[in-house]
Amino acid sequence: GAVVSQHPSWVICKSGTSVKIECRSLDFQATTMFWYRQFPKQSLMLMATSNEGSKATYEQGVEKDKFLINHASLTLSTLTVTSAHPEDSSFYICSGQSNTEAFFGQGTRLTVV
Amino acid sequence: DAKTTQPPSMDCAEGRAANLPCNHSTISGNEYVYWYRQIHSQGPQYIIHGLKNNETNEMASLIITEDRKSSTLILPHATLRDTAVYYCIVSPLSYNQGGKLIFGQGTELSVKP
């Protein structure tokens, strides 16, 4: 069945470096991809929405130059956290959406030290 | 902001039915009611969705009031593995209509032996 495969499941990086998170849609084409962030004991917060082949739309308060989103094909979207800092440590989740349904990745636990 | 209101937490005895309420008094005519759940440190899992009729699948039943201002998710025979945070979300079915899945705080369901 349709799933979204998200990698890596966890990553530890040094402050100031960049980290890339990949999400691949399997057995379906994700016309739209959503990226969320979740801090401990909190709900998912939508960061940005991207459509294949176009620029992402960022939610208010989310820095587009810090969180680079690429959605170059209907099966692959990436989120790059640039110049990561400890406050960027969080659980990042992607969601691939066809016309009628949304499928979530398993999330990436990012820890910046 | 999320358009739904849910109790922050609920307990349920194993084997009994779990009834999770959700208020969505400002729901629009083209918006569906979606239910997802999130087990700790995983991506959200789709449960069920509906427009105005009651729906049932292998996981749960969804009861929507006639005025569509509230709904109830029913897990008929809760097990310990159903312990999770349950999210009720309203959104247009098609994301081409601008639909996004905006998560509220959800209900933390604890199933106890």
Nearest chain A residue to B97 by CA: give it: A99
For B:89-108, CB contacts with A below 8 A are 93-96, 100-106
pLDDT band at B93 (very low <50, low <70, confident <90, very high): low
pLDDT band at B92 (very low <50, low <70, confident <90, very high): confident
Nearest chain B residue to A32 by CA: give it: B95
Binary contact (B95, A99; C-beta < 8 A): yes
Residues A82-111 pLDDT 10s: 999 999 999 999 999 876 678 999 999 999
Nearest chain A residue to B44 by CA: give it: A104
* Interval B102-109 mean pLDDT: 94
Q: Quick one: how far is CA A95 from the chain centroid? A: 8
Residues B32-67 pLDDT 10s: 999 999 998 899 999 999 999 899 999 999 999 999
Q: Kindly state whether B87 is in contact with chain A, defined as any CB-CB distance less than 8 angstroms.
A: yes
In DSSP terms, which residues pair with A10 in a beta bridge?
A109
Binary contact (A107, B100; C-beta < 8 A): no
Binary contact (B103, A109; C-beta < 8 A): no
Binary contact (B42, A91; C-beta < 8 A): no
CA angle B61, A42, A23 (to 5 degrees): 75
Binary contact (A107, B41; C-beta < 8 A): yes
Q: Kindly state whether B44 is in contact with chain A, defined as any CB-CB distance less than 8 angstroms.
A: yes
Q: Count of CB contacts below 8 A, A vs B? A: 51
Nearest chain B residue to A49 by CA: give it: B100
Residues A44-77 pLDDT 10s: 999 999 888 788 999 999 999 999 999 888 899 9
Binary contact (B95, A32; C-beta < 8 A): yes
Residue A45 exposure: Cα atoms within 13 Å on the Cβ side: 14
* A12 vs A34: CA distance, rounded Å: 23
* A74 vs B85: CA distance, rounded Å: 30
pLDDT band at B98 (very low <50, low <70, confident <90, very high): low
List the structure tokens of A62. Answer: 């989310």
- Separation in Å, CA of A112 to nearest CA in chain B: 18
- Separation in Å, CA of A7 to nearest CA in chain B: 12
Binary contact (A100, B94; C-beta < 8 A): yes
Backbone φ and ψ for B80, nearest 5 degrees, come out as -60, -30
pLDDT for residue B19: 98
The mean of the pLDDT values for chain B is 92
Is the Cβ–Cβ distance between B89 and B102 less than 8 Å?
A: yes
